[in-house]
Structure 1
Amino acid sequence: MKNILRIFKYDLKKIHKNVIAMIVIMGITVIPTLYAWFNIAASWDPYGNTGNLKVAVASSDEGYSGELLSVNLNLGDQVLTTLRGNSQLDWTFTSAKKAKEGVKSGKYYAAIVIPKDFSKDMMSIFTSNVTHPEIKYYINEKENAIAPKVTVKGANAVQQQINDTFVQTVSQTALEAFQLVNNVADETDDQTIADNLSAALAQISTDLSSAAGTVQAFSDMANSAAIMLNTTTEFLSQSGSGTKASVNALGVAGNGIDSLNSALTGTTDSINQALSQSASFYSAVSTCVGNALDSYNSDAQACANALTAVSGRVQNLIDGYQSLENSLSQIADSITEPNLKGMLMQAIGNIQKAKASQEAIRNAINDAATGITSATANATELKNNIDSLIAQSNSSISTVKKDYENNVKGSLDDLANDLTSTGSSITSLLGQLDNSLKDISGVTGSAAGNLTEVQKALSDSASLLNEASGKMSNAATAMLSSDDNGIQLLTSLLSEDPEAIGSFLASPVKLNETHIYPIENYGSAMAPFYSTLAIWVGAVVMAAMLKVNVSDNLKHKLNNPKEHQLYIGRILLLLCIGFLQSALICLGDLYFLGIQCEHPVLFVLAGCFSSLVYVNIIYALTVSFGDIGKAIAVVLMVMQVAGSGGTFPIQCAPEFFRKVYPLLPFVHSMNAMRECIAGFYGMNYWIELGKLALFLIPALLLGLILRKPVIKLNDAFTEKLENTHLI
């Protein structure tokens, strides 16, 4: 122990007598403090100075003028207005082109560009074709590693602000509209409002039901017209397929019937034209019967049979007219408008006249058939009777036809003239029979199909109207049966400030942040890392600047002391300098920089104890391995800078650093200092110092025991280096 103290006193005496030595020792003591203080000061509050980061902002937004909502909205302009008062970043307002070019050139760290359809796309949420709006964000990551992280936070803040502004604007507009309704409601008591609304709903239900009945009636009418057209088509198809015997027997009479079918080509677009067909038909029948009786009395029975078949077809037409009359009557009953009702009643009268005319025609055909059967007895009398019946039928049909021409459809004289002109050419009529029947049948068939589709559409519409009527009726009933609590609640809600409610809807959830161990600034949070690093750097500087071995002259004066005495005697000087370094670093952190610290005395203690451990580690390496030991100390420093979790959480580091993390002295020094800065948790401070003390064991083992076998090897290595005259 005596030799250890003598070595220590000898070192102090040499320093005291040598001014240069004192200056060097002072430099070794002060330089590490500068390393810590400059780094802590530089990172004191970097995120508080983000207002110096230039970020370009450009808006090409053309805005939105509401067709969907009664609101004029330009989110791009609102963003620019808000950012002008925002000092988080150095927002520079320019055009989209200049913003992008500025990012490329490095003039701006980033750029935010709002496109021209931005507001319009935002409002597309109220349409069936939703388009997600986009903000263009351009960033230059070449300029700096941290700046992009800061600017992207600004871009995210802009995005959140736009979302909040959109929701607040839409909500506020809707609430203002509701409030307008509420102001009107304030002038009337709640029950009156409910009664009026219920009555309105009931009236709407009644109107919908009436409309459904009308549409259904038109559907039935279309169905009836389709039946009549189908009957006409079937009649025309079958009229051209009579037996060969009937055609031969009828001769001219058959050609007369064909003339009637040819005349029907213009009748497919409406039921009214059937009257003209009937009149022309019986003109042909008159000619047919007259020619048959004048030519061959033996053919009278065949002619009568053909006329009987025609009578059956006429009856089918009469049935169609009856169905059409019923449909029109149903429509007339459901309509209260006088003019429209009068027109429908006139149409019904026309249908009734047409039906009566058809019945007269049918009876005339039957009488003609009966007369032809008995014509063999007195052909002249039979012909006169038939001519008389046909004349009466033609007169009746002519009257009805004239009524239709004047009131409904217009003149059909051309059709009758065509029938008359064709009667002179029996052979020509026979050749035209098939083609005429095919044309008429095709047109009437197509019209019948179209009427069927119309009937289906009308029927579906009637069903939908009935369904809507039922829903309105239910709503009216519910309005009458409900109490007024809901109305009062709605009135109370709408009485509130729309702006306040819109603001709430834009951001309904607020984050209540609680700092368990609050730290005032980023510099205070980084002080443990930079202070620990400076203490290690100070130990490395001492090992590099001071001789770690006792001189041979001193050894001779001490009568060749033991190795452990030499080791401990010299390390005492380094420990004293290390304590001065760490104390100055920690006191400068506290009182020069003014870092936050809950336990300043223990903070200085943690720094001094860290210096004790670091000096032992570095001194043992240097004494044992010389320059190689110094290199190992530097490598350990670099490894601890990367893997101690001083700047980023160790969980973010690669797997190798996560594995060596518990084995690094920096970790425990920083944890102890953090306890002092932010506040204690249990015995963590003392536990971390205890873990740090464990590193003294391998350091002392190496310096006092394990280094002895390698002393000679290290001396030989040192001699070789000196022989190079370079190191």
Structure 2
Amino acid sequence: MKHIFQIYRNDWIRIFKVPMALFLVVGLMILPSLYAWFNIKASWDPYSNTKDIEIAVVNKDEGTFIQKGKINKKIDVGKEVVKSLKENKDLGWTFVSEKEAKRGVRHGDYYASLVIPKDFSKKIGTVLEENPQKPQIYYSVNEKINAVAPKITSKGASNVTEQVSEKFVKTATKSMFEEFNRIGIELEKELPTIRNFENRVFTLEEKLPEIEDMGNKALEIEQKLPEIREQGQKVVELEEKLPEIQAAGQSVLKIEKELPKVKEAGNEIIELQKKLPEIKSAGDRVVEIDQNFYKIEEGLNKALEDAKKANEIVMKAQSTLPTLENIANKGSEFSQGLNDFLEKNEGAFNEVAPVIKQNLVLLNQTAKDVAGVTEELKNVNDENRATYIETLSALETRLSSGIDAADRTADLLTKLNEYTGNNALAGVINKVNNVKDSFTNQREAVVNIENALKRGEQPSSEALDRLNTLATEANSTLSNVLANYDSSIVPAVNSGLDKLTENAKNANNAVQTAKEKLPDIKGVLNDASSGLQYGQQELTSLQERLPTIRARIHEAATTISSKMNDFTNAVNSGAAFVQNDLPAVEAQIHKAADFVNNDLPQAEKEIQKAADLVQTKLPEVEETVHKIANLVREDLPDLEDSVKNAADKIREFEGENDLGDIIELLKNDVQKESDFFTSPVQLKEDKQFPIPNYGSAMTPFYTALCLWVGGLLLISLLRVDVEDVQEGTKGMHIYFGRLLTFLTIGFFQALIVTLGDLFILGSYVAEPTAFVLSAIFISIVFLTIIYTFVSVFGNIGKAFAIILLVLQISGSGGTFPIQTTPPFFQAINPFLPFTYAIGLLRETTGGIVRDIMIHDILFLALFLLIAILLAFLLKKPLSGWAVNVAKKAKESKIIH
């Protein structure tokens, strides 16, 4: 041990004595790290930058019309694909002509191209035909540009076809479930008829004994034919009327059959009669609004006139201010002049509070209009785009005016707040300023949406939601202020005005103070004047829109006035008939139907039999009677069996199935069912050991690789033999002594690269301490192996180390899964140090599984032990051979 540490100590003394040697050793500690850092950073997150991989897209699809039964719809799938790709930022989709796409792919300007043929939509439409054709998208790729890019572009092309397929499946299933839904609704409507048919079958089954009795009577009639012949002459005349009687009887039966529907309709008429007052009241309100619309016009005109008068009052007060200012310079005359001014213009100050409220109301209306437009903008299309652009332009102007009005209102309230004495207007000032800021943001949003529409783009839902939120919040703020305006704000405003005028009127005692208040009076009047002008503009705009509003209301009122009486009379007449006359009519119809069903058939038979006998047709009558008797004897049993069988089938069906359940099954939520069939299975991902980026995932491989490369650099630049050794120093002493020097440098190599990974690159590592310690251990194993090769085999050992490096890069599974490599590399994988070094570093990077980590450490320790045993066994026997090989190599004058 003494010789070993002596060699180690001498190595470092020599290194520190020679600055250049120290510089090279430090460089050897740092240089391998650069290899790892540059490679890790270069592969940090390559799949997040695929938006610059350009793919040419050519849309030649001409669209088509689908005409099948009631379906008559134009589709343009190519246009829809292009629209979705323009919103897709995963790849650099570039929309060009077919000629440019071919040229660009061939010359490498585009990595790939997608061509949607002109019959794409037409072939999709063949799904409704007997022989449907699958549409194709032509995909072309230039694979020589880059090895990975074709895989990315192929995935993008697959996503396009999947998107089209998914949309097609969704549309087809939606149509299918809409049809199911329609069938379910129709079946539900016909359910009473179906139930009625079932009841009729069951009733017929119950009446079978009676039918059988009637059959027996037919047999009896057959037996009475001789008696009928004798009485036939009496009914000849009556027989001539039988067709008319039969027709009348059938009409009665038809009327009786429809009676339930008639009664049901009558009940609906009675219910409608009950609601007549509500309907009439609603119509009267519309007519009343139309008749009194002039009052709305008069109110608006009066408001506009009042605003003009108030403005005139304020302007008059403003016009006298210069005179007041001149008087202010004359000292004592100012006091009396100021008092005269305030008394003459008291009306101007009385208009301040109404002006503020008027401005707040108009600002609130502007906010409501903006919020309403955001909902309408969700339905923008090419037909109404120009209208919405004009609407947004008008809103922009109103918002600009609103911003000025809010600013002036806040300034006016600020001036008055100084005179309230208790800062009573601070809250409303803050809210008005907030509204001003909101209007500024709304105007910016409106301009952006307007520009988007002018460019032919659809406004984003995020922009519309943001504008709606701003307008709604401003509306809420202003509504809150107006709710408390008369009770809390007006007293504070009047208090400030009173205090202002009071201070000014006390000018006899403080002329100078009054002069100081004059600018405040002037400011209040200026702000009031500006507010009145804003109000006049908004009221004038509303006045211009009144004729259109009045025309629409008048049209509705005219329709209601002209039709209401007829409608009411018709309903009342129908209801009176249902309540008073219908029961008697029903009774009479039932009585007549009973006669037709019960008495008329027998009478007809008797009359026909007798008449035919009288008219020498008795043989035919007899033949008919015989046929009827035969029918009773031969066919009636089969009829009875058929009726009973049908009834049994109905009972069996209802016992196994509930028709109501079948209807509910057919009636469904079309959208939800369509969405389910479009994507019936969802993948729920569970990442066991998540690593946030590709660079962090590659850190174990490049860190292990740099440690091996660092070992190669050391044996390339540093000697493994030792000069000037002490007497008694053996070969193994030299081996271990110089090995300690190599391991010391390797320790710092591992420390520098791992700390750089963590703190310079910011690589994700789940267990940083274990990561650093594992790298140091791996460096010890790698350096021992490489050092042993060179120490035992000389320069040939360097070749062994390089060959092993090449094999390990491909056979360790550091980049691609080992299962994807050829059989040779899979076979050598378990025998390579890299396999376990990368595995150990991956455990510390992603998350430690203890048994895997222990497994990797044990195998690395085994490689370390094998290297040391190799040195013990071969160092001495091969030392002479290694010296001779090195000597002969030096003779070449090119190998050291």
Q: TM-score, normalised by structure 1?
A: 0.58
Task: For residue 115 of structure 2, give the secondary structure of its aligned residue in structure 1.
Answer: strand
Report deviation, 1:482.
Answer: 5.3
| In the alignment, structure 1 residue 655 sits paired with structure 2 residue 823 | yes
1:88 aligns to what? Answer: 90
| Helix, strand or coil at the partner of 1:58 | strand
Matched, 1:709 2:877: yes
Q: What SS does the corresponding residue of 1:66 show, helix, strand or coil?
A: strand
1:261-283 per-position Cα deviation (integer Å, ceiling 9, x unaligned): xxxxxxxxxxxxxxxxxxxxxxx
Out of 696, 703, 720, the position equivalent to 1:548 is 720
CA contact (8 A) 2:185 2:663 kept: no
Structure 2 unaligned regions, length at least 5:
201-641
1:495-644 equivalences under 5 Å are 496=669, 498-551=670-723, 553=724, 555=725, 558-644=726-812
Cα gap change, 1:100/1:194 in structure 2, threshold over 3 Å: closer, same or farther? farther
Task: After TM superposition, give the deviation of residue 639 of structure 1 in Å.
Answer: 0.7
Residue 94 of structure 2 aligns to a residue whose secondary structure is strand
| TM superposition shift of 1:474 | 9.4
Q: CA deviation at 1:480?
A: 12
- Contact kept, 8 Å, 1:194 with 1:479, in 2: the verdict is no
Counterpart position of 2:44: 44
Distance 1:123 1:486 in 2: 35
Shift of 1:7: 1.2
1:55 Cα deviation after fit? 1.0
Rounded to whole Å, the distance in 2 between the matches of 1:543 and 1:641 is 20
For residues 51 and 198 of structure 1, what CA distance do their matches in structure 2 show? Answer: 70
| Contact 1:578 1:612 (8 Å CA) reproduced | yes
Report the alpha carbon displacement of residue 197 of structure 1 after superposing the two structures with TM. Answer: 13
- Give distance in 1, aligned partners of 2:752 and 2:689: 26
Report the secondary structure of 2:877's partner residue.
helix
Q: Distance in 2 between matches of 1:706 and 1:588?
A: 38
Deviations 1:439-476 (CA, angstroms, capped at 9, x unpaired): xxxxxxxxxxxxxxxxxxxxxxxxxxxxxxx9xx999x
Question: Which of 154, 165, 168 is matched with 2:167 structurally?
Answer: 165
Matched, 1:54 2:226: no
What's the CA shift for 1:725?
1.7
Residue 539 to residue 197, structure 1, CA distance change in 2 (3 Å): farther
The corresponding residue for 2:109 is 107
Does the Cα contact within 8 Å between 1:3 and 1:561 map onto a contact in 2? yes
Q: Which amino acid aligns with 2:705?
A: L
What are the Cα deviations for residues 532-585 of structure 1, in whole angstroms up to 9, with x where unaligned?
A: 10100001101101111111x3x1xx2241111111111111101101111211
Match of 2:862 in 1: 694
Distance 1:121 1:642 in 2: 48
1:99–1:617 Cα change, 3 Å: same
User: Paired residue for 1:33?
Assistant: 33
Match of 1:683, SS?
A: helix
Q: Give the Å deviation of 1:708.
A: 1.7
Distance in 1 (alpha carbons) for counterparts of 2:683 and 2:136: 26
User: What are the Cα deviations for residues 647-701 of structure 1, in whole angstroms up to 9, with x where unaligned?
Assistant: 1111111111111110000000111111112222341101111011111233112
How many residues are paired up? 448
Q: Distance in 1 between matches of 2:808 and 2:659?
A: 68
Structure 1 residue 196: Cα displacement: 9.6
Once residues 687 and 73 of structure 2 are traced to their aligned partners in structure 1, the CA distance between those partners, rounded to angstroms, is 42
Contact 1:8 1:569 in 2 (8 A): yes
Measured in 2, the distance between the counterparts of 1:672 and 1:489 equals 62
Kindly state the Cα deviation for residue 91 of structure 1 after the two structures are TM-superposed.
0.8
**Given the superposition, is the C-alpha separation of residues 195 and 167 from structure 1 closer, same or farther in structure 2, using an over 3 Å criterion?**
farther
Rg larger in structure: 1
Q: Which residue of 2 aligns with 1:248?
A: none
- Provide closer, same or farther for how the CA distance between residues 196 and 689 of structure 1 changes in structure 2, counting only shifts above 3 A: same
Kindly indicate whether the alpha-carbon contact (under 8 Å) linking 1:543 and 1:622 is maintained by their aligned counterparts in 2. yes
In the TM superposition, residue 595 of structure 1 has moved relative to its aligned partner by 2.3
Unaligned runs of 5+ in 1: 200-469
Q: Is the 8 A contact 2:183 2:666 kept in 1?
A: no
Provide the residue aligned with 2:23 in structure 1: 23
Q: Which amino acid aligns with 1:18?
A: V
Q: CA 1:60–1:198 in 2, change beyond 3 Å: closer, same or farther?
A: farther
Sort the Cα spacing of 1:486 and 1:94 in 2 relative to 1 into closer, same or farther, 3 A: farther
SS of 1:55's equivalent in the other structure is strand
User: For residues 587 and 159 of structure 1, do their structure 2 counterparts lie closer, same or farther at Cα, with a shift above 3 Å needed?
Assistant: same
Q: Residues 102 and 198 (structure 1 numbering): CA distance in 2 closer, same or farther, change over 3 Å? A: farther
How far has the Cα of 1:24 moved from its partner?
0.7
Distance (Å, rounded) in 2 between the aligned partners of 1:168 and 1:96: 30
Q: Is the 8 A contact 1:7 1:569 kept in 2?
A: yes
The equivalent residue for 2:74 is 72
- Taking the aligned partners of 1:144 and 1:517, their CA distance within structure 2 comes to 31
Partner of residue 97, structure 1: 99
Q: What per-residue deviation string (whole Å, max 9, x for no partner) do you get for residues 48-105 of structure 1?
A: 2211211111221222311134443222111111111111111111223322221111
Cross-structure match for 2:531: none
Deviations 1:512-549 (CA, angstroms, capped at 9, x unpaired): 12222222221222111111101000011011011111
Cα RMSD after superposing both structures: 2.8
Alpha-carbon contact 1:32-1:581 (below 8 Å) kept: yes
| In 1: Cα distance, 2:102 partner to 2:664 partner | 51
Question: CA shift at 1:601, angstroms?
Answer: 1.4
Contact 1:526 1:647 in 2 (8 A): yes
Alignment-mate amino acid for residue 96 of structure 1: E
What is the alpha-carbon distance in structure 2 between the residues aligned to residue 512 and residue 62 of structure 1?
A: 39
Query: Does the 8 Å CA contact 1:70/1:173 hold for their aligned counterparts?
Result: no
Percent same amino acid among aligned pairs? Answer: 39
1: CA distance, partners of 2:132 / 2:73: 18
- Matching residue's letter, 2:115: V
* Displacement of 1:113: 1.2
Cα distance in 2, alignment partners of residues 664 and 547 from structure 1: 26
Q: Deviations over 1:296-337 (max 9, x none)?
A: xxxxxxxxxxxxxxxxxxxxxxxxxxxxxxxxxxxxxxxxxx
Cα distance 1:526–1:474, how it changes in 2: closer, same or farther (>3 A)?
farther
Kindly provide the CA deviation profile for residues 688-722 of structure 1, in whole angstroms up to 9, marking residues without a partner as x: 11011111233112323302222222212222222
**2:141 corresponds to which of 133, 139, 142:** 139
**AA of the residue aligned to 1:72:** K
Q: Distance in 2 between matches of 1:181 and 1:64?
A: 28
The alpha-carbon distance between structure 1 residues 691 and 172, as it changes in their structure 2 partners (threshold 3 A), is same
Give the CA deviation at 1:126: 2.3
Distance 1:74 1:58 in 2: 14
The answer (yes or no) to whether the contact 1:194–1:480 under 8 Å persists in 2 is no
Conservation of the 8 A alpha-carbon contact between 1:75 and 1:166: no
Q: Distance in 1 between matches of 2:199 and 2:33?
A: 85
Aligned CA distance change for structure 1 residues 189 and 149 (closer, same or farther; 3 Å) = same
Which residue number corresponds to residue 8 of structure 1?
8
CA contact (8 A) 2:731 2:875 kept: no
Matched letter for residue 4 of structure 2: I
Q: Tell me the residue number matched to 1:365.
A: none
**1:30-54: CA deviation from partner (whole Å, max 9, x where unpaired):** 1111111111111111112211211
**How far has the Cα of 1:120 moved from its partner?**
2.0
Q: Which amino acid in structure 2 is aligned with residue 78 of structure 1?
A: E
CA 490–516 in structure 1, closer or farther in 2 if over 3 Å, else same: farther
Return the alpha-carbon distance in structure 1 between the equivalents of residues 23 and 47 of structure 2: 39
Kindly provide the CA deviation profile for residues 476-502 of structure 1, in whole angstroms up to 9, marking residues without a partner as x: x97997599545654576452x33332
| C-alpha distance 504-474 of structure 1, shift in aligned 2 (>3 A) | farther
Residues of 2 paired with 1:480 and 1:72: CA distance?
47
Partner of 2:317: none
Mapped to 1, the partners of 2:694 and 2:110 lie a distance apart of 25
1:337-416 aligned within 5 A: none
